[in-house]
Amino acid sequence: MSSGSGFSESLQSKLFMIVAMLLFTACSSKSLVDHPTTRSALWVQNASEYDAQCIQVYSVATQKLNDILSEQIKKDSLISQKPYAIIVDVDETVLDNSPFQARMILKGSNYNNEDWNEWVNEAQAEAIAGAVDFLTFAASNDIQIFYITNRDADTEEATFSNLSALGFPLNEDIDVLLTKYEREDWNSSKINRRAMVKQNYEVIMMFGDDLNDFYDAKNVSSSARDQIVINNRDKWGNSWFILPNPIYGSWEQSIFEFQNTLTETERNKIILNSLNPKN
Ligand SMILES: [Mg+2]
């Protein structure tokens, strides 16, 4: 009888442990699913529609470049001009860092410099769909490609080898990978680096996933950002090409009015207030 009771107690305690573990697993996986970037990272990594949009952007750009090259042949006999260049951003424009975001979600963490640079130094990001073919086509037509990125200067070598291994056109003779603070005045705004390229080249196209890849929109309000987009209406799809990035970007910082010290409750309130139910 006593041994039967002991067995029952042991079974009960085992059952209790199993139920507790299941509850813990359910709770922890629920909180990971609730990470602010889970749905957007899920979309980037799993929706075929994401690749389709990227291919669409680079396909339109290829047609536009063909038009520009045809025009150039006509103009060449008339005027001399600076050599052509194309400026591309790196992250989420030519390289896909969604595995980094997946790591952050799965360990319940957020973007931080240490984890980010560790990922960058692994140099195993894959190419955004359509990017290698387009830039290879441009380079084969003697167009210089410049990569302007806010990756840290000390990750330049890893970034270069990542791009190179994927077949992106690079140049060993001149610096075409312009990283943040590689020079003192190369801050995150990118305007100084764009200006430097424009000194010697005619920039015919720019590619990015963030408004700041085209126009200095640092600390600019959401409504002013909308105005920048509208004011440059003619450039989109002609000389400015934007890739989708629902995971992160300056759009999000503008919603929070560039405040870095908000509590989670304050952030959640702003998020709900930023939704427009039109009633
Ligand atoms: Mg980017």
Give pLDDT tens digits for 129-146: 999 999 999 999 999 999
Mean pLDDT for 54-75 is 92
Give the global pTM: 0.88
**Given a cut of 90, is residue 71 above it in pLDDT?**
no
Ligand 1 centroid–CA 209 distance in Å is: 5
Query: Mean pLDDT in the chain?
Result: 91
Half-sphere exposure for 46 (CA within 13 Å, toward CB)? 7
In a domain, 162, yes or no: yes
In a domain, 159, yes or no: yes
What gap in Å lies between CA 51 and CA 47, rounded to an integer? 7
Comparison of pLDDT for 226 and 30, the residue scoring more: 226
Confidence of residue 29 (pLDDT cuts 50, 70, 90): low
In a domain, 257, yes or no: no
pLDDT digits (tens, 9 = 90+) for 236-268: 999 999 999 999 999 999 999 999 899 999 999
Mean pLDDT for 60-87 is 84
Ligand 1 centroid–CA 97 distance in Å is: 10
In a domain, 135, yes or no: yes
Between helices 38-46 and 98-106, what is the axis angle to 10°? 140
**Given a cut of 90, is residue 99 above it in pLDDT?**
yes
Ligand 1 centroid–CA 74 distance in Å is: 35
Ligand 1 centroid–CA 21 distance in Å is: 40
Ligand 1 centroid–CA 92 distance in Å is: 5
Ligand 1 centroid–CA 263 distance in Å is: 26
Ligand 1 centroid–CA 190 distance in Å is: 12
**Given a cut of 70, is residue 229 above it in pLDDT?**
yes
What gap in Å lies between CA 9 and CA 59, rounded to an integer? 68
Mean pLDDT for 186-203 is 95
Ligand 1 centroid–CA 242 distance in Å is: 10
What integer pLDDT is reported at residue 22 of this predicted model? 57
- Count of CB atoms within 10 A of residue 278's CB? 3
Residue 93 near residue 210 (C-beta atoms within 8 A):
no
**Given a cut of 90, is residue 154 above it in pLDDT?**
yes
Structural domain count, the chain: 1
pLDDT digits (tens, 9 = 90+) for 156-165: 999 999 999 9
Mean pLDDT for 219-241 is 97
Confidence of residue 73 (pLDDT cuts 50, 70, 90): confident
The range of the structural domain enclosing residue 99 comes to 35-208
- Give buried/exposed letters for 37-55 (b at 16+ CB in 10 A, else e): bbebbeebeeeeebeeebb
Ligand 1 centroid–CA 180 distance in Å is: 13
In a domain, 19, yes or no: no
What integer pLDDT is reported at residue 1 of this predicted model? 40
Domain CATH code at residue 76: 3.40.50.1000
What gap in Å lies between CA 185 and CA 212, rounded to an integer? 16
Mean pLDDT for 43-66 is 98
In a domain, 130, yes or no: yes
In a domain, 239, yes or no: no
In a domain, 10, yes or no: no
Ligand 1 centroid–CA 181 distance in Å is: 16
Residue 169 near residue 145 (C-beta atoms within 8 A):
yes
